[in-house]
């Protein structure tokens, strides 16, 4: 409390005394005792009110003991069960919770990881993937400013995410790894990796790459083969030694039949093998009788063209050709989609041919676009011609209804360049991306689609799309998000299929360790997306004939169902709209059996030891987990810290003073009433 505040309080006391004496002591008619009582009550009231006006502040200091944190990360994947360690892990976690000395010294918290990081200690050991890197990253962020040695209980075998040894380099606390599983090296043959195309063209050969790994000291020979049903379509004998323990097989298989083709690759096991599940792997290819041919016509050289081509060809069903206008005129009829990049006067004959053939088009415009020509050659849109350019950012229209689009935050992407002016679309259209200029969202389209008399067209009024594809890679370490988005635009424009009120999207085959999702869109009779519909899917297992029905859940501008709970096998399904008996769509898919968590025979002791050593922690085996608890309890590095907290509390927040004012006023009123003075 400051000297000035104390002075104010003294003045308040004097004023309160003077006023109380003046009211009940100067020329009073009351007896001396009654005057003293009334005067004291009035003094209390006046002084309390003045004290509230002064509002002095009081400092209080509290002390608290802060324990160091001890986050415990638990591997909840199926590999724990496969290594017969589920009971050991559960018992160890229970012993951590029950250890009084450990809990007295540390503030324990429990987390699990598998497909994703979770804040709980509920153990099921049924997750189909392990993402150790993500779990360590989350812990590093949660406890970045605290002393928090981390206990990592895992077999060290990761199936998702970045290399966790690399991720642990920047880990701010010590890691105490607890190894679960057998460290003994057994003889093992396994298919470590299999790469093949998802699609192949009829009467062509498609490539397959297989990496086979041997673990053992003996020299052995084994037979590798690929079967389609019961027919062997490829066979090769392979020899291994202790030093020459990896073989890479490159071969091609014929795509002789249209449709979904399923294969099994297998390296025949040897007698001494303990784990034979990892000796085989299924893969599938969809054979199609034609690809989507796309023609890009451009009179200039620009990095956008390369980005468009690579993005479109990320789907192996598509083939992209780039030509100049003079070279492309005679080829237009051979392509399903024509992409016109920054048209100018040299495109005049191209537009004439497009109108004759009713070809679907995607037009990209930018600084080098001749808008005088473009405004005169077509009637779908028009733009004021200026010589100025501006930067624009794309804002996703989540209500776009022509097809289902994923939610990509383009607002954080680098701006594109467009010529200054408003793009006005003169025909019915749907906007996918709107323009945002200096963080102000406009109604001007950046990317929009039209559909007139069965012909589909789109315009992208921005130059520099290669920056978006590059940024997608920087943020997610791959081009998939951008390529999937752009691929859906391409797929819509390349199709001449008549638009239906019920559209479904799904893959022909899935691996059972990945998400299995089917999406659908339902439109009313005016082709406006219906947000209030009830869609359901009836799924039938072709082997067991068992039927299962599920509702589809609304996700922005589409409905979706996750069928990841289904077992491997072949399925047919029917999507229906409740109340619309004529609106149904049928489909079929296959779930391939591949459990990556069953591929491991041993714990990765070496890597777990390295991450513990690199963070100044230590590596333990779960059989010696009690040593870990003793070490943590005895380690003086982790000490409880006494923290003081200073709190400044103004008097106006002190409710007891208000109670005192009310009490003194009430008492004075009651006494005056009792004595007949009111």
In contact, 336 and 292? CB cutoff 8 Å? yes
pLDDT tens figures, 612-642: 999 999 999 888 888 999 999 988 888 877 6
Residue owning tokens 């082997």: 543
Say whether pLDDT at 497 is over 70: no
Average pLDDT, the chain: 86
Please enumerate in sequence order all residues whose Cβ is within 8 A of that of 427, keeping only pairs 6 or more positions apart, or say none.
379, 380, 381, 450, 452
pLDDT at site 181:
76
Q: Between 299 and 23, name the one with better pLDDT.
A: 299
pLDDT tens figures, 366-380: 999 999 999 999 999
**Chain centroid to CA 60: how far?**
46
Cα–Cα distances in angstroms (integers) from residue 219 to residues 187, 209, 244, 270, 526, in the given order: 11, 24, 9, 12, 71
Please, what is the Cα angle at 164 between 611 and 265, to 5 degrees? 125
pLDDT at site 390:
92
pLDDT at site 78:
82
pLDDT at site 54:
82
Instruction: Report CA torsion sign: 175, 180, 185, 187.
Output: negative
pLDDT tens figures, 339-352: 999 999 999 999 99
Assign domain 68-180+602-639 to its CATH superfamily.
von Willebrand factor, type A domain (3.40.50.410)
Find the range with the poorest average confidence among 128-132, 270-274, 502-506.
270-274
Look up residue 453 and give its two tokens: 């008399």
pLDDT tens figures, 69-96: 999 999 988 888 877 888 999 999 999 9
Find the range with the poorest average confidence among 142-146, 388-392, 458-462.
142-146
Mean pLDDT confidence for 449-458: 89
pLDDT at site 629:
92
Cα–Cα distances in angstroms (integers) from residue 126 to residues 75, 78, 79, 113, 277, in the given order: 10, 5, 9, 11, 17
pLDDT over 70 percentage in the chain: 94
Between CA 339 and CA 295 the distance in angstroms is 6
Look up residue 79 and give its two tokens: 């590999």
Torsion of CA 294, 296, 302, 307, to 10 degrees: -10
Which 3 state secondary structure label does DSSP give 113?
strand
Cα–Cα distances in angstroms (integers) from residue 435 to residues 391, 461, 490, in the given order: 9, 9, 21
Mean pLDDT confidence for 384-411: 83
Say whether pLDDT at 549 is over 90: yes
Mean pLDDT confidence for 559-575: 90
Which of the four pLDDT bands, split at 50, 70 and 90, describes residue 307? very high
Strands (E), 343-452: 360-365, 381-383, 389-396, 416-419, 423-425, 429-437, 440-452
Mean pLDDT confidence for 476-501: 83
| Domain regions of the chain by residue span | 3-60+650-674, 68-180+602-639, 188-288, 293-494, 502-596
Between CA 99 and CA 89 the distance in angstroms is 15
pLDDT at site 34:
74
pLDDT tens figures, 115-172: 888 887 678 888 878 889 999 999 999 998 888 999 999 988 887 778 888 878 888 8
Between CA 566 and CA 382 the distance in angstroms is 51
Domains 188-288 and 293-494 agree in fold = no
Please enumerate in sequence order all residues whose Cβ is within 8 A of that of 91, keeping only pairs 6 or more positions apart, or say none.
none
Mean pLDDT confidence for 651-671: 82
Phi, psi of 349 (to 5 degrees): -70, -30
Between CA 402 and CA 503 the distance in angstroms is 10
**Chain centroid to CA 595: how far?**
22
pLDDT at site 83:
79
CATH class of 188-288: mainly beta
Which 3 state secondary structure label does DSSP give 666?
helix
The listed CATH number (1.10.357, 3.30.70, 3.40.50, 1.10.260) that belongs to domain 293-494 = 3.40.50
Q: Between 675 and 346, name the one with better pLDDT.
A: 346
Between CA 422 and CA 419 the distance in angstroms is 9
Residue among 92, 109, 111, 265 nearest 179 (CA)? 92
In contact, 531 and 522? CB cutoff 8 Å? no
| Residue 104 CB coordination number (10 Å) | 10
Say whether pLDDT at 468 is over 70: yes
pLDDT at site 182:
67
Which of the four pLDDT bands, split at 50, 70 and 90, describes residue 302? very high
**Chain centroid to CA 614: how far?**
29
pLDDT at site 595:
62
Say whether pLDDT at 305 is over 70: yes
pLDDT at site 212:
92
pLDDT tens figures, 585-610: 998 888 877 666 556 667 788 889 99
Mean pLDDT confidence for 202-225: 88
pLDDT tens figures, 405-439: 777 778 888 999 999 988 999 998 999 999 998 88
DSSP secondary-structure letter at 215? Answer: E
Which of the four pLDDT bands, split at 50, 70 and 90, describes residue 59? confident
Report the topology of domain 502-596.
Immunoglobulin-like (2.60.40)
Residue 651: exposure state from Cβ atoms within 10 A (0-12, 13-18, ≥19) = middle
Between CA 123 and CA 109 the distance in angstroms is 14
Which of the four pLDDT bands, split at 50, 70 and 90, describes residue 218? confident
Which of the four pLDDT bands, split at 50, 70 and 90, describes residue 28? low
pLDDT over 90 percentage in the chain: 38
Q: Between 626 and 60, name the one with better pLDDT.
A: 626
């Amino acid at each position: 409390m400051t000297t000035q505040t104390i002075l104010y309080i003294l003045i308040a006391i004097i004023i309160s005394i003077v006023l109380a004496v003046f009211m009940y002591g100067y020329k009073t008619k009351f007896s001396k005792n009654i005057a003293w009582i009334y005067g004291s009550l009035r003094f209390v009231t006046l002084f309390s009110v003045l004290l509230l006006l002064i509002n002095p502040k009081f400092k209080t200091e509290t002390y608290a003991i802060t324990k160091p944190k001890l986050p415990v990360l638990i591997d909840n994947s199926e590999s724990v069960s496969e290594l017969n360690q589920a009971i050991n892990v559960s018992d160890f976690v229970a012993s951590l919770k029950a250890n009084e000395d450990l809990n007295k010294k540390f503030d324990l918290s429990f987390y699990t990881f598998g497909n994703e990081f979770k804040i709980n200690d509920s153990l099921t050991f049924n997750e189909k993937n392990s993402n150790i890197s993500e779990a360590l990253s989350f812990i590093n962020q949660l406890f970045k400013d605290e002393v928090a040695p981390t206990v990592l209980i895992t077999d060290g075998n990761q199936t998702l995410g970045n290399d966790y040894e690399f991720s642990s380099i920047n880990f701010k606390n010590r890691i105490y790894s607890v190894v679960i599983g057998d460290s003994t090296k057994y003889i093992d043959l396994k298919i470590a990796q299999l790469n093949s195309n998802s699609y192949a063209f009829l009467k062509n050969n498609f490539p397959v790459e297989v990496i086979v790994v041997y673990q053992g000291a003996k020299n052995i020979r084994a037979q590798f083969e690929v079967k389609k049903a019961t027919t062997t379509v490829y066979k090769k004998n392979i020899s291994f030694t202790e030093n020459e323990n990896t073989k890479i097989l490159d071969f091609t298989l014929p795509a002789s039949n249209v449709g979904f083709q399923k294969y099994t690759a297998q390296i025949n096991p040897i007698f001494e093998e303990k784990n034979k599940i990892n000796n085989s792997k299924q893969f599938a290819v969809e054979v199609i009788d034609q690809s989507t041919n796309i023609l890009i016509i451009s009179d200039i050289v620009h990095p956008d063209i390369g980005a468009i081509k690579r993005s479109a060809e990320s789907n192996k069903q598509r083939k992209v050709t780039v030509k100049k206008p003079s070279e492309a005129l005679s080829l237009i009829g051979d392509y399903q989609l024509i992409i016109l990049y920054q048209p100018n006067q040299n495109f005049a004959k191209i537009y004439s041919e497009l109108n004759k053939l009713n070809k679907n088009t995607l037009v990209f415009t930018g600084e080098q676009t001749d808008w005088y020509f473009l405004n005169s050659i077509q009637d779908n849109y028009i733009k004021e011609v200026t010589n100025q350019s501006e930067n624009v950012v794309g804002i996703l229209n989540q209500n776009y209804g022509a097809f289902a689009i994923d939610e990509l935050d383009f607002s954080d992407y680098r701006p594109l360049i467009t010529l200054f002016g408003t793009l006005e679309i003169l025909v019915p259209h749907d906007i996918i991306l709107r323009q945002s200029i200096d963080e102000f969202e406009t109604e001007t389209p950046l990317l929009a689609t039209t559909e007139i008399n069965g012909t589909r067209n789109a315009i992208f009024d921005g130059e520099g799309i290669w920056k978006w594809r590059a940024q997608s890679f920087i943020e997610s370490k791959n081009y998939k998000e951008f390529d999937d988005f752009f691929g859906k635009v391409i797929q819509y424009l390349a199709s001449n299929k008549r638009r239906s009120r019920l559209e479904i999207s799904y893959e022909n085959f899935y691996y059972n360790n990945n998400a299995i999702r089917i999406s659908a869109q339902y439109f009313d009779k005016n082709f406006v997306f219906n947000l209030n519909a009830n869609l359901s899917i009836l799924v039938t297992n072709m082997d067991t004939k068992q039927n299962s029905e599920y509702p589809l859940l609304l996700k922005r501008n589409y409905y979706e169902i996750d069928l990841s709970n289904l077992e491997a096998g072949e399925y047919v399904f029917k999507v229906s709209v409740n109340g619309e008996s004529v609106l149904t769509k049928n489909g079929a898919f296959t779930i391939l059996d591949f459990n990556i968590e069953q591929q491991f025979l041993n714990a990765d002791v070496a890597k777990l030891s390295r991450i513990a050593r690199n963070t100044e922690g230590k590596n333990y085996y779960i059989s010696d987990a009690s040593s870990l608890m003793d070490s943590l309890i005895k380690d003086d590095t982790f000490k409880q810290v006494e923290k003081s907290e200073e709190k400044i509390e103004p008097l106006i927040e002190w409710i007891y003073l208000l109670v005192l004012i009310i009490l003194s006023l009430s008492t004075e009123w009651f006494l005056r009433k009792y004595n007949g003075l009111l």
